[in-house]
Amino acid sequence: MANHAETTAVVEHGDGGVEHHVEPSALGLGPGAWAALAMVVFLGILVWKKVPGVIVGGLDKQIDAIRKQLDEAKVLRAEAEKLRAEYAAKIANAEKDAASMVEHAKSEAAAIVTKAEADATAMIARREKMAADKIGAAERAAVDELRAKAAEAATAAARNLIAKNHSAGADKALVDGAIAGLVN
In a domain, residue 13? The reply is yes
The domain tally of the chain equals 1
In a domain, residue 71? The reply is no
In a domain, residue 8? The reply is yes
Whether the model pTM is above 0.75: no
In a domain, residue 89? The reply is no
Residue 31 lies in domain = 1-49
Query: Is 181 strand, coil or helix?
Result: helix
Separation in Å, CA 110 to CA 99, 104, 127, 153: 17, 10, 25, 63
In a domain, residue 12? The reply is yes
SS3 assignment for 62-82? HHHHHHHHHHHHHHHHHHHHH
In a domain, residue 21? The reply is yes
CB 7 within 8 A of CB 17: no
Residue-by-residue pLDDT tens, the chain, 184 positions: 445 445 555 556 666 666 666 666 777 777 888 889 899 998 888 878 887 777 888 899 999 999 999 999 999 999 999 999 999 999 999 999 999 999 999 999 999 999 999 999 999 999 999 999 999 999 999 999 999 999 899 888 888 887 777 677 777 777 888 888 887 6
In a domain, residue 102? The reply is no
In a domain, residue 80? The reply is no
